[in-house]
Structure formats: C-alpha cells, structure tokens
Structure 1
C-alpha cells in the first residue's frame, strides 16, 4: 500500500511542472514578463532550504540533497519541494511550533523525514511537523513523519492531498480543523498514542485506504465533522469515535479489537464494516431494543450503539 507504484511521484511532479510551464508561457504572452520555473538545489546553491524558498518564484522546484537540515521552514510560495531520499533527507524543527509551515496554495512536499515539530510530551500544544494554514491545492506525498507533537495539522484549508506517507512515533497523527475536501489516502499511521486521524468542524473530506494501528482512537470525528467519507480503512485497536457529527458515509472499513462508538450523531450511512472479520449492526435513535439472538444471521454479528440507543442482547 505504501510506496508502491514507483513512478507515481515522478508523474505527479512532472504533471505539475508541465502545468506550471504552460501557465507561465501564457503569462509571458499576456504581459510579456518571462517567468519560467527554475530548479534550485540545496545545499549546492543555497546554505539552507529557507534561503532557497526566499529566493524562489512561484512554480520553482527546490531539490534538497540527503542530509540533516535543522530549520523551521515557512513556505509562502507555490513551489515543489523534493527531498533526495525520504529516509536520508531529514528536516528537524528542534521542537519548535512547526518544522514546515505552509501558508500558500500550490505546494508539493515529497521525499523527506519530518521531525521535531513540537514535542511528544506537550499534551496541550499545537506543535506539528507540518502545519497547513489557509491554503489549497497542497500535495504531501511519500514522506516520513516521526517525533512530532502532531504529524500533520491542517487548519482552514481545502483541496489538500495527504498520500502514501508513513506516520509513526508522534503523539498524534493527522488533525483537520475547519477544512474541506481533504483527501487522506494510503497512509500508514502507527505508534501515535493519542489518535490516528482527527477531524473537527471539517466537511466533505475523504479518508480511505489507510492503515491505522493503535492510539486511543484510530479515527475521531468531532463537533460537526459532517458529510465526510470514511472508507476501506484498516483500523487496529483504536476503533472509531464519532461525536456531534452527522451525514457521514462510513463504508467497508475493517476494525480489529475495537469497533465504533457514536454519540449525538445522526443520518450517518454505515455499511459493509466489520470488526474482527464479523459484520456490524448500526442502530440509530432506538431505545429499549432487544436483540433476541443472532441465530437468524449466517455469521455472528457484533453490535455497537449510537446516540439514543439502549440495546440489549438476549442469548
């Protein structure tokens, strides 16, 4: 699942580069100002990544050779940031508020190990390896996130893609707040003790085909996290908690050791999910319901309870 389809990253980057070239050619014809993308190499041409970003123009590609870079990087331009090797190109934020802060749309981050955003022991903070604020059309692809307060924090942003990253050994995984149309797909999240993926006040997002292992909650929807799709994920030990969130589509997920809990959440479509390989019953706003037995079903069913349900099993 992770790091397969080896040419996919190259294809995405080349597609973005081609689009930027076409755009810039159009601008040249329109206003007569040449603005062709440039490849900038760190550390061959620049002492730091931030220096390269500061010198860059929209559409430029910054290529970072393997090594350790201790920076708190602010990206406020539409650039493509590429590490030579995700295992050997390390960005260390030194436990600051962030390691990378994105404040502009049209950014690609790929090929890095990102660490030192906040501290794992900081319970109340918002430090993160990667913070995305008020931005759109950002791609975060094939990176490692470890040793951060949060791996990825997305605030008031839209059309973000978090794809094929390995997120392990952080306090928290991916946190979305007040964001829309974020795609979180084909990531592995493990050894993040608080949660894997957390959505609050965020709508129209798609969380699918991730593997989430451990944490108090594998996936957590809270406070009007509505109209999202949660599908085809494998969630081990953490389960799913949905509070004050409605009209979500929860489809074809596989839970191990722990299932789902709903509270004050309505009109959620729940279908095709299993706990330890067995189907699940979803009951909404039922009270004093008695399930006489599971004998009418060809396989054993596991139940969970939504808000307003008081259900009893009679063997």
Structure 2
C-alpha cells in the first residue's frame, strides 16, 4: 500500500481540524493508519467529519448514523472494495447530509447502499452484484451522481421517495429473475424525482415507474438492449419522459393503466415495439422519432383521450395500431418507408371514434379517416389511407390509395367507385351493408384485392382484381351479396372465395389464372353462373350443394378445361366437388352473349 507522508499522517493521527468543526480520519486494511476497519472510524467520528478509506478490501457492514463523508484519499490508486459475502446491507445511511464517494461495493444480499435519511450525496461509486445497488426509502433531497451499478435486480431504487436528483449514473445487467424482472432504475410510489443523463444497458427494464408514482422527470437518458426501455404502470401519472434515446428494446416505452404522462422528444431506434399504451388515458405523445421498428405506436385495451402529435416513424411494419380505444387525437404525424401505416379496429362502434386528421401523412400523402359522417363525397384525391367508419351514404370516387388500404367499417349505403387501391393491402369491408363497390382496381396488393367480413347486401361489380398475394375477392361470414362482372386474374389464392357466406350470387365474372378460380366453402344457397373460368390451377371447389348453373335457359359457366357443344351444353355436366356440378356449361368464353350454339 502507498503510505502517507509522515507529516500528513501525524496531522491526521493528531485529529487536526479540516474545518472549524470537522476532523479527518484514515482507514487502511493492512497499513500504517489510525484504523483498519471503516466501522472503527465511524464509531469515533462526529457529525461533519471525513473518513478517508485507502485502497483495499473491507469485509464489513457500515451504518452511518452521523453526517459523515466516506471516500478514498485524493490521488490514491486502486479500488476501495467493500465486500458483503452475502451480508444484508453494505452501507446503511440513517443520518442526513452524508457523502459517499468512490467506493466499490459488491456481493451484498440487499442494497449496496441503503438510505433512509435526507440530503445525502452519493457519487462515483461502483456497485457490483448486490441485490440492489442504491436503495432510497422514504427520503428526499438526495443526489445520486456518476455511480455505476452492475448485476442484481435493480441498479437504483426509489421507494416512497421524492425530490431526489439522479444524474449521470450507469446501470448494466440488472435483469433480476424471470418472475421478478429487474430494472436499471425503479421508482415505486415515488414523486417529483429528476432522472437525467443516465444510462441503462442490458436490463429487464431500463426505467420502471410503478404504483402511483407521480410527476417524475426523465430527461436525456440512454437505454440500450433492455426488454422495456421505460415502463410506466399501475396508476402512475403526470410523469415526463423527455429527450431519451432508446435502442434495441422489445418495447421502448410502455404504459399500463397510466394516465396524463408526457412522452416527448424521445429517439427510439431498432426496437420491436416503439410506444405502447394499454388501458392508459389522456397521455401526450409528441415530437418523438422512431426508426427501424416493427410496430411504431400501439394503443389498445380502452386507452382513450390520448394525443399523438408531431411524431415521426421511419422504417416500420406497422406504424400506428389502435384497437378498442376511442377518443384519441392524431395530428401531424409523419410516417415514411413502412408497410401498414394506420390500423384502427375494435369490437364496438365506439372503438372507431377517433379524431385522425389529414395532417397525418404516409410517404407524403394524407391519411383520410372519416367517422360518423353522412352524405360526404371524396373525389379525385391521392391518399395513403382511407377509412370510412360509421358512415352513411358517403362516396369515395376516382381516388387512389398508395400505402395502406381502403377500410369500410359499420357503414351503410356508401359507394366506392372507380378508385385504385393497388400496391398496398387492398380493400376491407367489415360489418357494413348495402354498399356499392364498383369499377375499382385492386392489384398487386400485399394481402388481397377486396375482402368482405360479416357484411351483407353489398354489390361488388366491375372491379379489376389482379396479382394479389392472396385472394382477388374474398367473402367471409357475408351473405346475400352480389358479385357481378369482376375480373379476377393471377391472384395467388382464389380469384373469388366464399367462406361461410350464404345466398351469394356470382355471375359474369372473368376468373383467369388464379391459384383457385372460384372457391365455395361452408356456404349454402349460392348460385354461380355465366362466369369464365380459364386456366386456373384449380378451376373450382365446393364442399356443399350450391348451384353452378341457372338451368337450361340461363346456363352455367365457361370452363377452359371442359369441352362440350352448345351455349349452353345440354348433355355434358362439369363436376365441382363431390356433391354438385355445372349441368349446363358453355362451350365458349362469354357463350351467353354469343347466343345458342348447335349441340
């Protein structure tokens, strides 16, 4: 060990004053010093004194019940190691105004430093493999600065503590256990604390705010490789998360049953989920930038009254997903270079009652979201997304949808006319009756062309449905619809598919080179006639007893793989499945328009 000069040692051993009332003491585990354990020096010291601990290893537990400073001498090399070997607490701080600096504290079964007093300063310590690094319990006015915590459950814990300053700390590898995940910083029933310029790396949660923690401020923190970057839950309100950088998280920021929090100006990169709200209301999420995320914003489980404004998402699979959550307001959010920009869904009509303004854009084109409108006409627009929800007698005509899809929910009497919904996800009509979808082009979509779900009495006519990744036209749980004069070509699934859709009329459609031409499954009372089925891998399939012709007068369908004579043929049925057949097929394409052909 390095030795103090004789003059300094004499001064310290004589107990000369460092100030008007303060004394200095020196501890060395194996050298020429007053004391060989920290506890011995604490026992003799008085309020305001400083204990200098020389580098070495100290296997003891310290209780600071006086206002003391505990630190290494200036200029000494080597670590001051306080080792617990499984003991409960490293340093227990019970007196106000203590200072702990520059120690390495490890292997305690409880906190490395435990504080139940006020106005303490804890700086530049290293805490390794303790259950918790620094634990503040029912205290305030403390400063925790430039400490490093490694391993264990939590780096820093604030329990029922308020108005503490936590800045420039690093917590790494605080994973906890599978049952009890750890955190870099845990705030439990804590209020008005400031956490700034700190880092969390490889923790289960970077920062965990729980149990009615309120008015805490996180500013300028960096969180990397954590499952949750920031997790706010259990009625924690009015917290501010600002200017944080979160990278490689499973979920960067998550709110569970949390209200009135502000998530502002954060940068989220390369994470599975960006910002997720579950059962959380009246939160403000503004000016955040998300890059390379699977899902940007997720709002679900009756999360209502939230504001998303002026956020940017760059590179995503799902940009904004809202499920069963009404009364949210979205404005001036910019989404670029992604797949599905906006998805709103829910089990009730109220779920769709959100204000989503046209100032929201995907790749520079506005999002059109109409809720509860009547008799509105949208014409000749270039849009990234269209939703009609709970609308009556509205018209979308001559528009193009470039990124998402055209969604129709719970709407009646609407018309979708002569529009292009291609190179996106196609068109979805759900829980909507008596609408007209005519003259549209839905091609090259990442899902399908047009899909009806639980929708009845709609007219789907004269649409072009081609080269979609799934079906050209799919009806699921949708009955009493008419599919007339559509062209379904080169779709990877079926050209036209019915699933649990009864009383459907399919007529005068051209169905060419699809995986399956026309597929009818678990459906009854359907009639399929006067369609051209040409060079489909499977021309048709039907697991029921639906009609594939309308008798000898109107005939059946044209089949490119079935030869017969007559328009329609009278004596050579074309079998479909095991229970039905087209008994009056046509010998020629559009044979019903050519007139009878001699048999």
Are positions 1:208 and 2:286 aligned together? yes
**Residue 373 of structure 2 is aligned to residue 281 of structure 1:** no
Whether 2:165 is the aligned partner of 1:80: answer yes
Which residue of structure 1 lines up, in the alignment, with residue 312 of structure 2? Answer: 234
Structure 1 residues 47-196: aligned runs within 5 Å:
53-54=135-136, 57-65=139-147, 67=148, 69-71=150-152, 72=154, 73-76=156-159, 77-78=161-162, 79-83=164-168, 89-94=170-175, 96=177, 97-99=181-183, 100-103=185-188, 104-118=190-204, 128-134=205-211, 135-155=213-233, 156-193=235-272, 195-196=273-274
Larger Rg computed on CA atoms: 2
Does the aligned pair in 2 maintain the 1:49–1:64 contact within 8 Å?
no
Q: 1:208 to 1:306 in 2, by over 3 A?
A: farther
Residues 241 and 54 from structure 1, CA distance in 2 versus in 1: closer, same or farther, beyond 3 angstroms? closer
**Aligned match of 1:263:** 345
Q: Deviations over 1:60-88 (max 9, x none)?
A: 221124x554351321122211116xxxx
Q: Which residue of 2 aligns with 1:4?
A: none
Q: Partners in 1 of 2:182 and 2:344 — Cα distance?
A: 33
Q: How far apart are the structure 2 equivalents of 1:243 and 1:60?
A: 42
Structure 2 stretches lacking a partner, 5+ long = 1-94, 98-117, 371-388, 420-599
Contact 2:171 2:200 (C-alpha < 8 Å) held by counterparts: yes
Which residue of 2 is the match for residue 26 of structure 1?
none
Question: What corresponds to 1:249 in structure 2?
Answer: 329
Give the superposition deviation at 1:140.
1.1
> Is the 1:262–1:305 Cα contact (8 Å) retained in structure 2?
no
TM-aligned CA deviation for residue 286 of structure 1: 3.4
SS of residue matched to 2:225: coil
Which residue does the alignment assign to 1:314? 418
**Secondary structure of 1:245's aligned partner:** coil
Question: Which whole-Å deviations, capped at 9, do the CAs of 1:230-260 have from their partners, x for residues lacking one?
Answer: 0000012231000000011101110113421
CA positional deviation for 1:209: 0.3
Instruction: Give the Cα–Cα distance (whole angstroms) in 2 for the partners of residues 52 and 232 of structure 1.
Output: 37
Question: What are structure 1's unaligned runs of at least 5 residues?
Answer: 1-33, 119-127
The alpha carbon displacement at 1:312 in A equals 4.4
Per-residue deviation, 1:131 = 1.2
Kindly provide the CA deviation profile for residues 112-166 of structure 1, in whole angstroms up to 9, marking residues without a partner as x: 2212333xxxxxxxxx222111210111111111111111111120001100000
Distance (whole Å) between structure 2 residues aligned to residue 306 and residue 203 of structure 1: 26
Q: In the comparison of the two structures, how many residue pairs are matched?
A: 264
Pairing partner for 2:298 from 214, 220, 238: 220
Distance (whole Å) between structure 1 residues aligned to residue 327 and residue 292 of structure 2? 26
Q: 1:82 and 1:142, CA in 2 relative to 1: closer, same or farther beyond 3 A?
A: same
Instruction: For residue 187 of structure 1, report the CA deviation from its aligned partner.
Output: 0.3
Paired with 2:206 and 2:126, the residues of 1 have a C-alpha distance of: 25
State which drifts further: 254-263 or 217-226: 254-263
Q: Alignment RMSD, CA only?
A: 3.1
CA distance in 2, matches of 1:94, 1:45: 17
Which stretch shows the higher mean deviation, 254-263 or 71-80?
71-80
Q: Alignment partner for residue 42 of structure 1, among 123, 127, 131?
A: 123
Q: Is the 8 A contact 1:263 1:306 kept in 2?
A: no
Per-residue Cα deviation, 1:209-237 (whole angstroms, up to 9, x for no partner): 00112333200000111000000000122
Shift of 1:291: 2.1
User: Structure 1 residues 311 and 231, CA, compared in 2 at 3 Å: closer, same or farther?
Assistant: farther
Q: Take 1:132 and 1:45, find their aligned partners in 2: how far apart are those partners?
A: 23
Query: Counterpart in 1 of 2:557?
Result: none
State how far apart, in whole Å, the 1-side matches of 2:303 and 2:138 are. 37
Aligned 8 A contact 2:246 2:269 in 1: yes
Q: Which moved more, 1:156-165 or 1:303-312?
A: 303-312
1:206 is displaced (CA, Å) by 0.3
For 1:180 and 1:55, the matched residues in 2 are separated by 25
- The 3 A distance-change label for structure 1 pair 44 and 74 is closer
Structure 1 residue 313: Cα displacement: 5.8
Mapped contact 1:70–1:93 kept (Cα < 8 A): yes
**Distance in 2, Cα, partners of 1:280 & 1:53:** 48
Q: Does 1:305 align with 2:390?
A: no
Q: CA deviation at 1:41?
A: 2.7
